[in-house]
Structure 1
C-alpha cells in the first residue's frame, strides 16, 4: 500500500487508511490519537518492538537496541502545514523513519531554530538526547515510524520528558 496522501486528502480518510495499513502489517495498536492539532499518532504494542524495528529500522541499527528496555514504538502522522512543538528530552534520544509521504525536520543543539531539512520515504532521522527538534508537515501528509532510546535505564523516559520551547498550539 502506498502511504502518500496529498494535502487535499480528507483527514478521516488518511487516518483510516493508515490504521488499516498498520493492522495489515500485523501490528497491534494499543493507543491512538487522531485529534492532535498537528495530526496524530498510533502507539504499537511494546511486545512487538523487535518486529517494529525489523520492519522499519532494519539495517539502521548497529547494534540493535537492547530490547529489555522499552522503545515505545509509535507511528506519527503530521498534517500538511502543521508543526509539532520545538522541543527536546532529558532522558531519551529518538529515531524516526519516514514511511509515507515526506516531512520536514528542524534540529539544533541550541534553542535557536535552524532551517528545515526535507526528508522523504525511507529516510532516517537520528535525534540525540538534548537536541532540539521539530517535525513539520510540508505539502503532503507525513507518516513517521518512531522509537525511543532511553539514556537513563534507572529512570526511563516517558511523555513527561518533553521540554517545549515553542508550540503553535499553546501547550
Structure 2
C-alpha cells in the first residue's frame, strides 16, 4: 500500500499542488493535505467546476482508505464536508443521528455532501478508495482541524 500512497502524492504534486502535510500511517489508510491557497483550483479539478462559490475558509484533502478498512463513525462541530470519489469505489454510511444506516456504494465521480454534525463513515471495499475532500469551516473564529472529530465508534479503539 505504501507505493500507492506515494504514487497518489506524486500525482497530486505533478498537477502543481503544494502538499502541506500527509499521514500515511492511519490504521485505515492515510491522507494528503493541500495548501488552502490552492482551494479554488482544487475544487475545480477534484470536486466540481459547477459548485457554487464557497464563502470563507476551505481546506482541501485527499483520503486513501485501504481495502476492507473503514474510518470511524464520526461527526464534526466546526465543518461541513464535500467529498468526490476520485478513484475506485467506496462505501459511505451516513445518518442525522448516532445510529448507523445501511452503507451505500459510490463510484468514481460521485459527489457527496455532509452537513455539520451529520454522522458519517468512509469504507474501503475490495480496492483502495481515493476520495477528494474539502472542509468548509463553519466557525471562522475557530476553524476545524483533525481534533474536530467526534468518534462514536472506532474499529481501532481511538477516542
Aligned length: 158
> How does the TM-score come out when normalised to structure 2?
0.95
**Is residue 32 of structure 2 the alignment partner of residue 45 of structure 1?**
no
**2:91 and 2:122 in contact (8 A); partners too:** yes
Q: Partner residue of 1:169?
A: 156
> How does the TM-score come out when normalised to structure 1?
0.88
Q: Structure 1, residues 61-112: CA drift from partner, whole Å, max 9, x if none? A: 12x112xx33111100000000100000111110001111111100001111
Cα RMSD (Å): 1.1
**Is residue 116 of structure 2 the alignment partner of residue 126 of structure 1?**
no
* SS of the residue 2:156 aligns to: coil
Unpaired runs of at least 5, structure 2: none
Q: Partner residue of 2:133?
A: 146
CA–CA separation in structure 1 for the residues paired with 2:157 and 2:50: 35
CA–CA separation in structure 2 for the residues paired with 1:157 and 1:165: 18
Unpaired runs of at least 5, structure 1: 1-10
How far the C-alpha of 1:37 sits from its partner, in A, is: 0.3
How far the C-alpha of 1:27 sits from its partner, in A, is: 0.8
